[in-house]
Amino acid sequence: MNTLFEQNGCNFEIQGDYQLPCIATKRQNELHIGVWANRHRQYLKQHHRIKYYNLLTSERLYPYLADIEEDAGAMFSQLVKSLAEKEIVTEKLKADNPILWVRKMNNIRNRAMEIVNSEVIFV
């Protein structure tokens, strides 16, 4: 007598004393998961386990993380650009006083990173 699993064309694999079903996931596209998406994935894994495992088991985790990566990257770039314009951090300053330019740009990047972390990553 075949089980419903076997009637749908699936097989069992014998491992030791157990018969385990041979299950494969759907083929997924290659998605770029960068630093922002990895931070969010770690946050979900540690603080929102149910959401993380629901996304993982429904095979929506990596498309979700790719969207987070895109949104966070765009927000970070836009924030750095707008803060640099607001504080008049230009190429002229870079040529005249490179140490001051580096100090200001590091400050701007750190502030933009904190904003992105609080608004996109750790929510």
Q: Each residue of 29-76: pLDDT tens digit?
A: 667 789 999 999 999 999 999 999 999 989 899 999 999 999 999 999
DSSP label of 52: H
Nearest Cα neighbor of 72 from 103, 52, 43 is 43
The Cα 13–Cα 27 span in angstroms is 21
The Cα 37–Cα 120 span in angstroms is 10
14 pLDDT band, cuts 50/70/90, is: confident
The pLDDT value given to residue 74: 97
Per the structure, the count of domains in the chain is: 1
**Can you tell me whether residue 13 is helix, strand or coil?**
strand
Judge whether residue 84 has pLDDT over 90. yes
DSSP label of 17: T
Q: Where is 19: in which H helix or E strand?
A: strand 18-21
The pLDDT value given to residue 9: 66
pTM for the whole thing? 0.75
Judge whether residue 2 has pLDDT over 90. no
67: containing domain: 4-121
Task: Tell me which residue has tokens 């933009």.
Answer: 112
The Cα 78–Cα 72 span in angstroms is 10
Q: Please give the residue that has the higher pLDDT: either 18 or 65.
A: 65
